[in-house]
Amino acid sequence: MTPPSLQCAFPACKGLIPRMVELIRAYVIEYHGFSDQVMDRIDIVLSEAITNAVIHGGGGRPDATVSLDISMTALKLRIVVKDDGSGFDPHSVPPPDFTGLKVGGRGVFIMRSIMDKVFYEDNGRVLVLEKDLGGEGGS
**Per-residue pLDDT tens over the stretch 71-124:** 998 889 999 999 998 888 878 877 777 776 666 667 888 999 999 999 999 999
6-132 is a CATH 3.40.50.300 domain = no
Q: Is residue 136 predicted with pLDDT exceeding 90?
A: no
The pTM score is 0.88
What is the chain written as a DSSP string?
Answer: -PPPPEEEEEE--GGGHHHHHHHHHHHHHHH----HHHHHHHHHHHHHHHHHIIIIITTT-TT-EEEEEEEE-SSEEEEEEEE-S----GGGSPPP--SS---SS-HHHHHHHHSSEEEEEGGGTEEEEEEE-TTS---
Domain boundaries, the chain: 6-132
Average pLDDT, the chain: 87
